Chains A and B, each alone.
Chain A
Amino acid sequence: MPFRLADVKKIVRKRSDGERYLHPQLLEGVGALTQVSLALAYFNNRLGRRRSDFDTETLVQIFGDARLARGVVSCLAATYQWRNHTFAEVLEAQNVARLLSRGIATSSDLRLHLFDAVNASGSGFLAGARGEALQPLARRLRLTPAKLDQLVALDADENAVLVRVREVPTPAQIVAQYSFAVIDAIVRHSSHLELRRLTADERSILAARCADHGVPLTWAGTDARLHNVADSFGSYARTGFRLSRSLYIALSSAPGLARDAAALVRLPASHALYKPDKTFRDTVTGGTGRILVAGPLPDLRQEWERLRAQRGVAGWRLVSSGEPTLTRAGLVVPAFSCQRGDERVMLWPVSNAEQGAHLEVLQQAGIATLPITPGDGAATIVAALSDRWGGDRVDAAGQAVEALVGEAAARGFIPEAEVLSALNYATPAEAAARLRDLPADHGTYIAGLGLCSPDFVATMRRGLRRAQRRSSAA
């Protein structure tokens, strides 16, 4: 998700030449790594917890600045996402089947069913004490009132739970992503970008990339100026993605392109120059110096739409001109990518050895990439995607238990009410059933009491034995 310019922490200073210069504030040093580690720990600790239990102020306090916190949260959004539970995740299979037989598969279906029932039997609303009024409705569906209440609001935003959809990134990776996102935001919000003293090769590469992406380009000798276009609101961000994209692609084959560059950035009430320094390339490539650009692919959009209308695309969505993404392998500029739920897969054409080598680098870095050979149509791609990325949902409940066990290890004991809330259970019986088989070295769940860490259990046992000894001695 690209940053808004307003979210970029920056300083603007006037220099002796009369110009105002913009200096972005990047996350740097050991302190930044520690702050990001703390943020990661907070996210991991909140896995499985509801959105309403997530305190954004904690993150602001970690970073001491709301903009830095927002930026880091944005970088973490690729790994941690909010997702609502399905019926299958909070109900036993026979209950799911029974509701399905009545045409109820989601919270929305259930609400409509209940609105129908309330309107058919009364005056269009549930009068009287809610608990009592709810019972006949719950009984009709063979659910407890508490469970019915939970299911009705299962898809509410505040009931979405935090899940981890990818491997936990290292703090250094997040710092690199943050720095890239800051520089990217500045380039996107520039009214123009000047690249000076270009060689003949660089000029021809740049001209070709700008033409590919429809970026207006003017020349003054060997200096190039890439122009951005403001939208009706005066913002350059909407078309700025073309500017940044053509710059990155040009940089992949002309690495020295930005050695003497300047971008004019429009600020709310003024403007300022941003001059990339010698670390620019390192920053946009995450220190790898590598920019991997997907080779050209035929425009799949029409064929994809036809297939969607005729046979369906198994829930996959085709995204053209995917966002440049900083990965462990370097900066990746995809042509097309496909998305379904939490999965995002880059389509990578492999029609020559160089593209094949890039694919290998990406796959070694663990990036979901589908090789595309000439002649692969939409149907082949959908089949390959469904074959390799089966659409398994993240085990949110498993992650929640894992996070809870971690918390219990730190705190020693978590009361039952908190366990129920953290695991989104409506009744203690559900918690007991889920946690009964917890390995002893993870912790012990005691019904009516809560979740105890192994150390806490050992301490309790020792205490009980001492008490027994004392009472028998007495």
Chain B
Amino acid sequence: MIDDAEALLEDEVLDPLGPVDGDDDPGALLRPEQKLDLSPVLSIKPRPYQREALARWLEADGRGVVVLPTGAGKTVVAMMAIEATAARTLVVVPTIELLEQWRSAIIEKLGIPLECVGIVGGGQRDVRPVTVTTYQSAMSPSRRYPDIGLLIFDEVHHLPAAGYRSIPRKVNGQYVLGLSATTERQDGRERDLDRLVGPEVYHKLPAELSRDKHIAEFVEKRLYVDLAPEERARYEEMLAGYRWYLASRRGVTAPGPAAFQELIRRSASDPAARQALRAHHQARLISLNASAKIELVGELLTRHSADKVIVFSEFNAIVDAISRRYFLPAITYRTAARERRLILERFRAGRYTKLVTGRVLNEGVDVPDANVAIVVSGSAATREYIQRLGRVLRPKPDQAILYELITRHTGESRTAARRRPRASRQAS
């Protein structure tokens, strides 16, 4: 009698979503209109950690975030989720470049026919049983995605942004999978992912996968440079101007981001605030773009003349300067589509062995693998650091190297420290 009551409780109360035997088949929880009319079959053999990630996600009722380093095959986990649920799927990606890349992967890896995979975004509006779209398109009030069973967010750290957070509610998929190399955001809103997608169900660190040879072994090296005397003098002058303003104005003297925002607000009408803001910006430019760094890049390129090297900079002006100084192919947001495509193709084919880029290749672009990354300058964001590290992590026989170039005795040392300790914890 008691057994019957417990069974009843379990069936009717604890698991109102469906019968117990449906738990082994995620597709059983879907409404008929949410199911695919075909059975996708993954054509590649997943790695153990990818299987583990899927299992954890399914255990969490098919809602949650999987965090894997770049190069570890997050896309494969998504394909496994489509195979396991056999659900009508919406994949949301951050850039137009990724639309076609995801569609090809779905067709090739899951054997889903071309006519069943649609794209919405970049001028196309083709909703199919499996659809790939951009965050921008998905949030548009005019877009409707009925009967979606599985909702996948690539680079899910974008989702907590003000405009995008309405997407999960709007699409209302039975299953939701978020993928990222690191969910950390500078505004701290990664906490909202728990509510928007689900908990972090699986997290592998680069070092763990590197130990098991799933991604490349890597080493991170910090190299310090000094400002040239004239740069140092200018840096101190600019910093003094900025500090003088803060010290001499009530209301903006409290340190921290709020003070800086107040300074920005005041700069619209107060010439002195504008000057202080410019001084701060100039000082930052001087420290991040010290001339010694450009020379050091040359030395590193010489040291790694036989390697494939990607140089990263925070500033497009420095990308251009390095490109002109060493005739390195450069990719920034301004690079025309054709030139960008040809450079990436030739780098992938090994015809080019060096590349310099800005933030544009941090994520959302299928960047060919390299074995050396040189970060000339970067922000304090851990995410950016991990993304750049990820560009050298695809499995390879040799050790990958990431160099960080830092200017001594400037604000950059603090910036690097802010991004690095947390990154080090993740990497070690």
> Could you tell me which A residues sit within 8 Å of B by CB distance?
60-61, 65-67, 108, 111-112, 114-116, 118-119, 122-127, 130, 149, 152-153, 156-158, 229, 231-234
Contacts and interface: CB of A to CB of B under 8 A. Distances in A.
A49 B256 CA distance: 40
Given A108-B338, A116-B346, A124-B328, 7 more contacts: A66-B274, A119-B352, A119-B353, A125-B328, A158-B317, A232-B162, A233-B163
Interface string B153-196: 00000000011101000000000000000000000000000000
Nearest to B309: A124
B320 interface: yes
Nearest to A156: B320
Contacts of A61: 271
A151 to B, nearest CB: 12
A281 to B, nearest CB: 31
Contact of B334 (A66, A119, A157): A157
Given A60-B274, A66-B274, A232-B139, A126 B162 contact: no
B339 interface: yes
A152 B164 CA distance: 40
Contacts of A152: 324
B393 to A, nearest CB: 21
B302 interface: yes
B95 interface: no
A127 B320 contact: no
B381 to A, nearest CB: 22
B163 A232 contact: yes
B327 A112 contact: no
Nearest to A235: B163
Given A153-B320, A232-B164, A126 B326 contact: yes
B268 interface: yes
B327 A114 contact: yes
Contacts of A229: 141
Interface in B308-365: 309, 317, 320, 324-329, 334, 336, 338-339, 342-343, 346, 351-354
B162 A234 contact: yes
17 contacts: A60-B274, A65-B269, A66-B267, A108-B336, A112-B339, A115-B328, A119-B346, A123-B302, A124-B301, A124-B328, A124-B353, A125-B298, A125-B301, A156-B334, A158-B317, A231-B141, A232-B164
Nearest to A117: B327
B164 A115 contact: no
Nearest to A230: B141
A125 B326 contact: yes
Given A67-B268, A119-B353, A153-B320, A111 B328 contact: no
A331 B106 CA distance: 51
A115 B352 contact: yes
Interface string B80-94: 000000000000000
A3 to B, nearest CB: 14
B14 interface: no
B352 A124 contact: yes
